[in-house]
Chains A and B, each alone.
Chain A
Amino acid sequence: MTTTATPATTLFDDPVLPAHRRILNSFRGPVGSITATLVVTLLVGLIWVGPSFFSPSNIQIVGVSVAIPLIVGVMASFALLAGVVDLSIGSMVGFGAVIFNQLVAAGLNAWLVALITVVVGVVVGLTNAFVIVRFGAEPLAVTLGMLTLLRGLSQVIVVNAPPSTLIEPLYNVTQGAIAGFPTLLLIGIGVTLIAAGIVSKTRIGRKVQAVGGDDRAAARAGISVSKVRVIALVASSVGAAVGGILYVGQLGSASNVLGTGLEFQIYAALMIGGYSITRGGVGNPIGGLLGLLVVAGITNILNVTFTDPNYLDLITAAILLAAVLVDRFRGGDSFE
């Protein structure tokens, strides 16, 4: 990629524009269109469902269901940003949950088990990174292999019904609310804001973007491409492991199908939010958050109106295509 700057984005860099123009212009970017999509989604919800769409209990339902994919997605977005897609996150969520659940059920201390689970996440991330960075293998292929391997391991470990492990404090955090707002969603938004800060304000964030945008240029500028990608892949895997722990808190158990297909749901939402799974250097955690909220909002509208859930995937698919199409019209990626 010669440059990631698109006609739309070069506008923002023009310092002489007045503030209101800058705000207007920025809404031509991915974050702008996803914000618009979210507003439309909320309006549709308000009209179709009525004011109860915004009732505390409904916000709690949406918050509880979107928070874990949000945390997993934000961590995985570092890998996307660095130009190395990690398909193994769904299986890692499941594998992390299975390890956590089985070991807690075996009577080990929950904190110790959480630490073990995170370490397993680090090991998986390092394995992915080792093959991708050291051997220069396709990230898509390597992490697909990891996806298969981890799902297989979960099935080998959980053969019959998994044990139940209801951990009260973890249940309260993952299902509870603070001041009428879902606790876990607050944590998720916190993680998102920190991630957004890292991406836009810190040196490491800029390095990640530079590596994802054009790795050779980044290398010439003295950035260690390998190091950045290793960190990004480990972050992605650890995020998934933490997601697995949180799911055990929320569900009180972990079956061997937990997290199946989660990677595609998360990446569809992230792409709606302005990321690309085929190109690094684009996207912002805030956009990811908005993308996940759009999908969660549509899911909820269909749920509370008791509409056939199959329409959800159809709508998600249509929005995803529309999002990448709009992005292309704006001067983003075009294929051939």
Chain B
Amino acid sequence: MTHFTRGRLARLGLVGVAAASLLLAGCSTVGSTSDAGSSDAADDGTFTVGFAVGGQPDADWQDLQGDVAKGLADQRGWDFVELSNDNSEATATKNADIFIQKGVDMVMMFNGQPSANPVIAKKYADAGIPVVTFDIAQPGWYFVGVDNAAAGTDGGTALGELAKEKWDCKVDLVIEAEGTAAGQINTWRTGNAADAIGTVCPDIPEENYVKYEADGNLTTSLANAPGVFAAHPDAKNILVVGLNDQAVVGALQAATQLGRDGSIMGWGQDGGLITGPNVDPNLVGSVMYFLEGYPASAFEIADEIAAGNPPAVKDTGDDAAASVKPCAVTAAEAAAIPDINERVKELASAPKGTSEYDLYCKS
């Protein structure tokens, strides 16, 4: 008896689908004739920037990049549209279609799941839209970012020097809090930092270097790190490097919980947790890139594109369109730097062309 019911329901559902498709088809003709499909903004002559934030759940600077970019676009009287890549390659790919449909004049994005970048690049290339990518290089896209390789080396060198000074390079354990999903960036930041420690203190044996997955966020890092400390119970002098401040602080917190914080030093990357009143006492320094300020560099490229003479595409970390200078700071130096929200405000009111490096890292 139920099957008959389902059958009828199905048929009526089909009627519904048919009606909806008709409606769609009808309107789609309307849409294509009035050319409303390929957007308004492109036609009215105003320069339009499409901005895709990373949307990774544990990184608050990603949304702030969007806020900063919006401010810069407003300064110039440009149209600005923002989407979130939602930390998903499927969404990032769909966002490309939406920007192309919108008819934006250029795109800026951070894509934390860059595996779909070749497909996305193909779409933008076909549509003839220039792209600025933050931190993750893709052939054909303007690369704006920190020289990640240098940032890793800078952080590792600074931490190594501290270990040399305080412990005479007697280091029992070097922990690398990785975020392998970031791919090459992880190798540069985390791996180079570890290598740099080895350069400063060449006598640390190979087996004292330990890697674990921190996934670039504090909660995961704090969940996975306790086992690492427990598995190396005899290590006294411990150094921690990692993909970002969150990963490093997760390890430092785990050390505190296990009573292993007597002689531990961490050096972060990205400066996410080195400013403000609540800095972890064992986070002795970080490399700041002022991530939220990347859009300032991207908009210098945008200015040239809007003026009709796009600069040559420089698409690698070694040969970047705009290289954000990494700024290695100790915790003491960082205390003088305002926190992220304050910096965003100051950047918005600074004269055009000012970078945060100029504002906060002149020393």
Contacts and interface: CB of A to CB of B under 8 A. Distances in A.
B210 to A, nearest CB: 16
A12 interface: yes
B98 A38 contact: no
A162 interface: yes
A161 B86 contact: no
A95 B73 CA distance: 41
A164 B27 CA distance: 38
* Interface SS of chain A: helix
Interface string A154-175: 0100011110101000010000
A145 interface: no
A144 interface: no
B27 A35 contact: no
A65 B186 CA distance: 30
Interface band, chain A: 35 or more
B37 interface: yes
A303 B31 contact: no
B31 A52 contact: yes
Contacts of B17: 189, 286, 289-290
Contact of A213 (B2, B20, B102, B115): B2
B172 interface: no
B94 interface: yes
Interface stretch (A108-116, A131-139, A197-205, A233-241): A197-205
A331 interface: no
Given A64-B94, A251-B90, A42 B23 contact: yes
B24 A54 contact: yes
A333 B98 CA distance: 40
Contacts of B16: 31-32, 35, 38, 286, 290
Contacts of B182: 161
B180 A55 contact: no
A57 interface: yes
Interface in B217-241: none
Contact of A58 (B34, B86, B93, B101): B101
Contacts of A164: 115, 118
Interface in B54-106: 55, 81-84, 86-90, 93-95, 97-98, 100-102
9 contacts: A29-B9, A55-B37, A161-B114, A200-B3, A247-B90, A252-B115, A254-B115, A286-B13, A289-B13
